[in-house]
Amino acid sequence: MTDLDGLLRFAARSRLADGGFGYLGADGRVPPDRPVETWIVARMTHVFGLAALLGRPGADALARHGVAALTDGPLHDRAHGGWSAATDDDTKTAYVHAFVVLAGATATAAGIDGGRVLLGDALDVWRTRFCDDDAGLAVEEWDRAWTRLDGYRGVNANMHGVEAMLAAADAVDDAATAEWLRDRARRATERVVHGWARERDWRLPEHFTHRWEPVLDYNRERPADPFRPYGVTVGHQFEWARLALHVRAVVDDPPAWLLDDAVDLFDAAAARGWAADGHDGFPYTLDWDDRPVVGARLHWVLCEAVAAASVLAQVTGEPRYRELARRWREHGERRFADPTTGSWHHELTPAGQVATGTWTGQPDAYHLAQMLLLDGRPVRGSVAATLR
């Protein structure tokens, strides 16, 4: 069975001597020609911050290494503020900034030097540059100098924004700021889950115009895009179901729809996604008639399915969720687990062979680590709060 310590040993190989963390190939090496990407640095910092909360040897030093890279390294734009997407891409995206907020929040919770400063800076950028107060959601992408806002709006960045705001609310000292963050997380979840997903019978649109109008054909010509795929993204529906329950755990007098919608969204993703093409597992994406579009099996989709089932089991006490989590975890151990690395292969064909249509290598410890850590633990606003 996959264990956290084995995953952490592999993830530690992503440490870059010059600062931050790199994209790990399947051989446990960082390709020398790949840029340093902020989402990788931030996710790894978050993972090592969680490990530090558990007292894992060496984790605090790795988390400090990530915080230092995000604070003082080349990804942090001192001239204009915020963080570039990568060392070769100076755009400023909500997706990236959500993970910087998350890294800062987890580092703060773990008592990592510099974590609170990083969190404060990242929250300031999130509030002033990305929050659309009228919509209750986050805008998507700016140029380096914050002079041009792209017209695309997306649910993926908002999903991770909810996660980041909940984590920040658990980490900040100021009660008013924490209340604001939790309210924003609730508003975004209401708009996305109780609004768009529920209105479309639990088929969540991901892509929108600047007026927040769904663009259902977005990326039809590039359906396997790793961040903006065409159609219904099964794994994101599991993720939103789980996040609704994290919101429910921290808001005062939570409305009934947070649990009801989490159940319905989870059930739709499970029923429509599992073996949709006749092969065990969840396809990456479905079309609007529930037919598979990208049949590849991605590790993060299964991780989020297991994590959502585990959280639903904790919240409801219903055995069926615990059984689903067990079955899906066993499927992952049989198909995805790589005994040579301690991590999981990131992409398989429907028949179970290693594939590279959307992802190469094994760079992402984030989904798998959180799946392992949420199992059997109480539900809080953030994973860090659960561990504390």
285 pairs with which residues across the strands? Answer: 233, 294
User: H helices of 274-388, where?
Assistant: 299-316, 319-335, 366-374, 383-387
pLDDT (tens, 9 = 90+) of the chain, 388 residues, equals 999 999 999 999 999 999 999 999 999 999 999 999 999 999 999 999 999 999 999 999 999 999 999 999 999 999 999 999 999 999 999 999 999 999 999 999 999 999 999 999 999 999 999 999 999 999 999 999 999 999 999 999 999 999 999 999 999 999 999 999 999 999 999 999 999 999 999 999 999 999 999 999 999 999 999 999 999 999 999 999 999 999 999 999 999 999 999 999 999 999 999 999 999 999 999 999 999 999 999 999 999 999 999 999 999 999 999 999 999 999 999 999 999 999 999 999 999 999 999 999 999 999 999 999 999 999 999 999 999 8
CATH class (in words) of the domain with range 4-387: mainly alpha
167 pairs with which residues across the strands? Answer: none
Tokens of 250: 């921290």
Is 236 in the active site? yes
Query: DSSP code of 288?
Result: T
Tokens of 28: 């446990």
Q: Check: CB of residue 361 under 8 Å from CB of residue 40.
A: no
Tokens of 12: 């530690």
Residue among 255, 235, 236 nearest 245 (CA): 255
Q: Check: CB of residue 328 under 8 Å from CB of residue 277.
A: no
Tokens of 236: 């994101």
Secondary structure class of 76 (helix, strand, coil): strand
Is 80 in the active site? no
Catalytic residue, chosen from 76, 160, 194, 236, is 236
Per-position DSSP letters for 243-273, written without gaps between them: HHHHHHHHSSS--THHHHHHHHHHHHHHHHH
Largest alpha-carbon pair distance within the chain? 54
Catalytic residue, chosen from 194, 207, 345, 367, is 367
Residue among 276, 279, 273, 267 nearest 302 (CA): 273
